Structure 1
Amino acid sequence: MAPTSSTPAKPRAQKAAPKDAGTTLADDERTALDADIDRLEEGSRVWAALTLDQRARLLGRVRDAVGAVAQEWADAATMSKGLEPGHALSGEEWLGGPYAIIGLLDALRETLEALAKGRSPLDGVKLDTAPGGRLRAHTFPLNGTERFLLSGFTGEVWFEPGVTAVDARREAGLAQLTPTEPGGVGLVLGAGNVTSIPVADVLYELFAHNRVALLKVNPTQDALVPVFERALAPLIEPGFVRIVRGGAATGAFLTSHPRLVHVHITGSAATFDAIVWGASTGSATEGATRETPKLKVPITAELGGVSPIIVVPGQWSAADLKYQAEHVATMRLVNAGHNCIAGQVVIVSSDWPQRAEFLHRLHEAYAAAPERPVWYPRSDERLGDAASSYPDAAWSADHTRAIVEVKGGDDPAPVETIEYFAPILGVVEVAGTGQEFLDAAVAHANAKLTGTLGANVLIDPVTEAALGDGFERAIADLRYGDIAINTWTAFNFLTARLTWGGLPGATLADVSSGIGVVHNALLLDRVERSVARGPFRPFPRSVGKGVFTILPTPPWFVSSRTGAEVSAGLTRYLVDGKLPGLVATLTKAMQA
């Protein structure tokens, strides 16, 4: 988010810069990469000749290919993180891999089919107004399967102020409104933490921008390359996609290549600065003083941040306290915290009578969650940094995770400005109750926490109803591109018809959580944010108590005893649509 006169600049992420291997590519490596770009340039011309119907059918072929490798995909991803195939935590790899991609493929195909018939992708989607006169599209759920499997969950896309319903419908479709205009060859620098991200980013290049894509995978995902190649074979064969491996030298060669017209990166602000400015640090000052970017082509980016979890005080039952404590632990511990969507700072009220009990439950849930490898490169350094900054932190799981309760004499800056990308969870206090607390917590998150990617809010139905319009206004005041109410922003990430990305307004000099959005299967233009809402209580406690859901403990919760089986079963149901398998999966879900 770029600073304005009315909005103070948010703190800059204090991540270390990437380590450069200090090597150059051999001639044969350069030749091979040039040959890949030659093939993609040919593919770009073929892509521009395809009709929307042909592209929709192509998505169907990709879907079949993803379904065929789904088990291998989940197994390879699980092993890449130091676990055995079928491990109790492997459900995260099903949801964050083939499940997410199949949902995206289905949603994109429906968008293309609508455009091919001369309709807007927003036809039939409810539009109304959000606070501040913004236009809002209710994009989840849109079919019976979504309503049944994820009952109680909803999703909205909010447009930038000034966008009208006529504008939104007319502009929905992005580059697919002009499919014969080629977008050239783009470079996708793939994420290293979640396996669906590189594939989803390639799909967005093709369908949002008509750009064929050269995907350089992060070295942490080298083992997934054979899976990606088979999953994307229908796009690779005609020259729409190429996948390459490589380290810093490969990235440097490609980002300066004269025939690549665009770069998209999922990573850190330090890596972004190194690409754009040639910077050696993540310093905002250094980037801002540079007048001429090193990078000569446009760039989009998703760069993470420090995500708040705002706990609005209310009168919670013992079951509520336990469930929401497990919810917060989930936000930090899934994938060992190696997520840009991981919640990092819990904001609680110092005046909440149940504060101590909630924090006690949180410590219990955090320590009791299954142990797992902290596997992402340099995570040990980040854990060490947290231990140095907060010697009184509460460590658990053989000293691989910690809760930092920021006390009066502690410096909150490290936990509020460093995206640890590791299992470090901070707790800070803000005074007040009701609207006073919520407004203060929103102001604290906006001003003190690095980034504008994702924010989470937990609030019981009685308190939300009492706040009324004040609650919706506070949500609008949160300066984040994705907001989750009584769910986790991972839901936004996995929901194809929502958008994923930082709040608009970032610049090359002050990139914050990134530039642009991804996923966005309705191909909507001029989007400001996406907002997801979930049930405060699971089934059966959801009956007659606010938002109803048939879901018991969701399969993505770290406390779910059947998360692996349910996540695999839901993915297989998306693949084959077989009802007996779905019944068995739902039975397992009830045992969570």
Structure 2
Amino acid sequence: MCLAAIESRREGPRGRRFDNGSAQMTTKTDPIDTAVAAVRAGADGWVRTPLSQRRDLLTKINALTAAHAEEWVRTAATIKGLAADSLLLGEEWMSGPYSVLTATAALAETVGALAEGRSPVDGFTIVDAPGNRSAVKVLPHGIFDALLLNGFTAEVWTTPGVDASQVRAKAGLAQRDPTTSNGVGAVLGAGNIFSIAPLDVLYQLFAYNRTVVLKLNPITDALLPVLEKIFAPAIAQGWVAIVTGGADVGKALVEHPDITAIHMTGSEITHDAIVFGTGEEGARRKAANEPLIDKPITSELGGISPTIVVPGTWSDADLKFQARHVATQRLHNNGYNCVAAQVVVISADWDQKSAFLAELRAAFADAPARPDYYPGSAARVAAAKQAYPQAESFGRNGDRTLVPGVRVGADEHALHTEYFAPVLGVIELPGTGTEFLRTAVRTANEEFHGTLGVNILVHPKTIRALGGGLDEAIAELRYGTIAVNAWTAVGYLTATASWGAFPGHTLDDVQSGIGVVHNALLIDNPERTVIRGPFRPAPRAIFNGEFTLSPVPPWFVTNRTAPTTGRRLTEFAAAPGWGKLPALFASALRG
């Protein structure tokens, strides 16, 4: 879930010392030099820190995240202009402290397993996946997963040629040799989903064995005190430093001679500006693949995410629920998610096409209003409306936009321009059944820019009718996360899942980025995560032959108890226990 890391030109605070002092810096270069020097010195201590103490560090960060979760969400609401009683605060609980709590807990288990001489994937089922791949079943894992996310599953598929024994032997990445330092990493933080930056810091520390300087996106400057409290044990040791500022600070950080690697979450435009420069010279360098920076660069850059709606025979309740599902995929966080669905792919020959689109329009009209806090949103909505005169507007400000009539083509705006705003296109393809699914997969692979995530909505009866067709489609899709009857964001929320673009992008054709993050089991060579969820919510699912206890998911934009459920999920993640389940279930079932 991305956003431009340093593209904002607004200047923020100039930064702080990270030598356990608190003096405010006043020059543009001193904060970077100070921060980099601190974590460069701290790198020596990091490689001398045994795995047992690293596990303790994660436990401390976990406890501090829980202690400051309320402050985190309150600050997030201020940044995004949400009222204290807004139903949308559930998004901030789940995509904020909850995500860091589950990640630190899962990483602590991984590091603990390595400290005891075990593989992090011990206890996880590994099965064969299509194309000579292996799949690690990461969700559910344990009784609480099975209860809280009942009906949802997740698998991490490896690249071809990796068998189960290799998965077990290589899981742990750099923590298998923690005494070898990989230098100092720079993380250019995102400004849309507030757990992205801290999760990226953790991945640099543990997957790569690097100490880290995090540069916050200016949008998130107000979170600096919260993040400093959460990472206090690592900051005190010189393992993490946090700086703020505008594009000039980001540029100084990535160009600093003591920074050995870079990770960014942002736009492809920002990535290319960092790697190749701007203007005509930057374009020339990109065409010649002559990067300005000779350092490893990993990235998560978003893209154009499709939602494929496979035609079938749906009830009125199915049409309404799945239309709200698609609306959530676009309107969660007002569309400021790099894995937000941008184009719905439907069958032109589906006899329920008009009924589904009517429900989708209703879902757009009924979605809660929210501020367009992310810079440039209104301009991007306007650009979409200019490209598509047939665009339909919804909501008090008319910013929620549905664009029917998107077509396949190299110059098609909606297929090649990430809107990062509440704009959803609709493209119609011919056929039904296997014919439609194959056409939709081919279109998603060849016509959509980016490979971060794709969603497939398909009725259980249609799955049975397709035979092995759905599994073939999943294997054929070239996306980093594939969700069947779920939103790919479930993969983001699953700490043990991998998150990132499909492998194979290069600096001069980066699309959705290079490398993965999250991946708390530290699996080597992950290719994709495959999520599956229930087509219907409980109890209706049970009445129709699907076994799931999952009600309307708390991340749905229409969920009426999302703030309470999100808070209780966060409290449960901080200290899991049977006694917390009744209140949590009660809130979830009322959603």
Give the alignment's TM-score, normalised by structure 2.
0.94
Moved more, 541-550 or 492-501: 541-550
Extract unaligned runs of 5+ from structure 1. 1-12
CA contact (8 A) 1:273 1:287 kept: no
Give 1:569 shift. 1.1
Q: Which residue of 1 aligns with 2:487?
A: 488
Give 1:411 shift. 9.6
Give 1:408 shift. 7.3
State the distance in 2 between where 1:167 and 1:86 align: 50
State the distance in 2 between where 1:436 and 1:371 align: 39
Residues 97-137 of structure 1: per-residue CA shift (max 9 Å, x gap) = 00001000111011111111111111221111222221111
Which amino acid is the alignment partner of residue 167 of structure 2? A
**Alpha-carbon distance change, 454 to 389 in structure 1, aligned in 2, over 3 angstroms:** same
State the distance in 2 between where 1:27 and 1:591 align: 51
Q: Which residue of 2 aligns with 1:222?
A: 221
Give 1:43 shift. 1.1
Q: How does 1:399-548 map to 2 (within 5 A)?
A: 399-406=398-405, 413-543=412-542, 545-548=544-547
Q: Which residue of 2 aligns with 1:590?
A: 589
SS in 2 for 1:555: coil
SS in 1 for 2:185: strand
CA contact (8 A) 1:337 1:422 kept: yes
Q: Which residue of 1 aligns with 2:294?
A: 296
Which amino acid is the alignment partner of residue 241 of structure 1? V
CA contact (8 A) 1:461 1:546 kept: no
Give 1:573 shift. 1.6
Does residue 1:235 correspond to 2:234, yes or no? yes
State the distance in 2 between where 1:234 and 1:17 align: 27
Instruction: Determine which of 381, 389, 400 is the counterpart of 1:391.
Output: 389
Does residue 1:348 correspond to 2:346, yes or no? yes
**Alpha-carbon distance change, 389 to 60 in structure 1, aligned in 2, over 3 angstroms:** same
Moved more, 421-430 or 140-149: 140-149
State the distance in 1 between where 2:375 and 2:91 align: 19
CA contact (8 A) 2:327 2:364 kept: yes
Q: How does 1:13-92 map to 2 (within 5 A)?
A: 18=7, 28-92=27-91
State the distance in 2 between where 1:390 and 1:222 align: 36
Give 1:292 shift. 2.7
Give 1:139 shift. 1.1
Give 1:31 shift. 2.3
Residues 244-268 of structure 1: per-residue CA shift (max 9 Å, x gap) = 0010111111111100000100001
Q: Which residue of 1 aligns with 2:103?
A: 104
**Alpha-carbon distance change, 27 to 236 in structure 1, aligned in 2, over 3 angstroms:** closer
State the distance in 2 between where 1:47 and 1:111 align: 17
SS in 1 for 2:68: helix
State the distance in 1 between where 2:255 and 2:125 align: 44
Q: How does 1:8-407 map to 2 (within 5 A)?
A: 18=7, 28-280=27-279, 286=284, 288-397=286-395, 398-406=397-405
Q: Which residue of 1 aligns with 2:549?
A: 550
**Alpha-carbon distance change, 42 to 584 in structure 1, aligned in 2, over 3 angstroms:** same
In angstroms, what is the RMSD of aligned CA positions? 2.2
State the distance in 1 between where 2:212 and 2:57 align: 16
CA contact (8 A) 2:268 2:510 kept: yes
Give 1:27 shift. 8.0
Q: Which residue of 1 aligns with 2:19?
A: none
Which amino acid is the alignment partner of residue 352 of structure 1? W
State the distance in 2 between where 1:172 and 1:17 align: 33
Which amino acid is the alignment partner of residue 272 of structure 2? D
CA contact (8 A) 2:90 2:562 kept: yes
Q: Which residue of 2 aligns with 1:8?
A: none
CA contact (8 A) 1:155 1:498 kept: yes
State the distance in 1 between where 2:170 and 2:581 align: 37
Residues 224-255 of structure 1: per-residue CA shift (max 9 Å, x gap) = 11111111111111111000001011111111
**Alpha-carbon distance change, 21 to 82 in structure 1, aligned in 2, over 3 angstroms:** closer
Give the alignment's TM-score, normalised by structure 1.
0.94
Identity %: 47
Give 1:32 shift. 2.8
SS in 1 for 2:278: coil
State the distance in 1 between where 2:407 and 2:250 align: 44
Give 1:291 shift. 4.2
CA contact (8 A) 1:484 1:531 kept: yes
Residues 376-417 of structure 1: per-residue CA shift (max 9 Å, x gap) = 111111011011111221101121111000167999711111
Q: Which residue of 1 aligns with 2:566?
A: 567
CA contact (8 A) 1:279 1:287 kept: no
State the distance in 2 between where 1:79 and 1:582 align: 30
SS in 1 for 2:95: helix
State the distance in 1 between where 2:280 and 2:394 align: 32
State the distance in 1 between where 2:491 and 2:358 align: 29
**Alpha-carbon distance change, 22 to 205 in structure 1, aligned in 2, over 3 angstroms:** closer
Which amino acid is the alignment partner of residue 115 of structure 1? L
Which amino acid is the alignment partner of residue 100 of structure 1? S
Give the aligned length: 577
CA contact (8 A) 1:435 1:467 kept: yes
CA contact (8 A) 2:454 2:483 kept: yes
CA contact (8 A) 1:89 1:563 kept: yes
Extract unaligned runs of 5+ from structure 2. 15-24
Give 1:84 shift. 2.0
State the distance in 2 between where 1:589 and 1:460 align: 24
